[in-house]
Structure 1
């Protein structure tokens, strides 16, 4: 499954990049996130509760960030397990384009799922992934705008 989208954020690129690396902001923006622990500058651990169709599960996962192209771009990869519900793994490439007082954030994400989740059907899973992604970025945009205004 692939997700591609972009969103304009009313803040300079440096502010957006800093927010994407702030565990508190991310925890508040990730739908269903119960806990987000930063183990190092590039290693995060998350606990997230998600409901996809009839399947509700608590996922525990690890995310590794690759900031080698910062602040213009970075990538991340992660995997999580939801016990009997299955697993998910994937990654994303994020590009931050400076547009004066605003930043265009574009991303390409890929994900693989297995277990009960994979049995739900690709349309349901893709629709849920798009909805969760849109919810994350709308919340992220609001949080960054608040930070930029402060």
Structure 2
């Protein structure tokens, strides 16, 4: 399945780029994220709890950032195993550009694949949950970037 979106963030492209590369901010912004640990340059191990319809699982996986063009774009590749619930794989291309109001436009195009029980649930339900999680991520991310820009401690909305 493929999904995409564009989000306007009231911060400079450099500030948004810095936050997109901050493991602590990413951990706080991913819904259900229990851990997000750097295991090398541009590589992270993560544990995320997610529920898709009747299937709730704890996914253990990894994330790799590649094709960097600071502060313009990068690719995120991730995969996770959720035991009997199945697996998920995702690739997303993220692009930052200047917005007309002086902020930053963040655009992403993602492809995702699921297997196991998750695949049996149906693409429509899985896509809906993925879109909801993406929307929640960007709500939290925008709040984190705003806190970083103002110099305040970023306050992430509760999970």
Given the two structures, how large is their TM-score scaled by the length of structure 2? 0.91
1:58 matched to 2:65? The reply is no
Deviation at 1:41, TM superposition (A): 2.5
Is the partner of 2:68 in helix, strand or coil?
Answer: coil
1:102 shift after superposition: 0.7
Alignment of 1:100-139 (within 5 A): 101-139=102-140
Q: Distance in 2 between matches of 1:66 and 1:28?
A: 21
- 2: CA distance between counterparts of 1:145 and 1:101? 14
Confirm or deny that 1:85 pairs with 2:85. yes
User: May I ask how many residue pairs the two structures share in their alignment?
Assistant: 150
Tell me the distance in 1 between the aligned counterparts of 2:11 and 2:75.
20
Cα RMSD over matched residues?
1.0
Unmatched runs of 5 consecutive residues or more in structure 2: 152-159
Q: Which runs of 5 or more structure 1 residues have no equivalent in the other structure? A: none
Secondary structure, counterpart of 1:129 in structure 2:
helix
User: Counterparts of 2:47 and 2:135 in 1: how far apart (Å)?
Assistant: 20
Deviation string, structure 1 residues 76-111 (Cα, Å, up to 9, x no partner): 111110000000011100000023631000000000
* TM-score normalised by length of structure 1: 0.97
In the TM superposition, residue 39 of structure 1 has moved relative to its aligned partner by 1.3
CA–CA distance in 1 between the matches of 2:113 and 2:141? 24
Query: What secondary structure is seen at the aligned counterpart in 2 of 1:39?
Result: strand
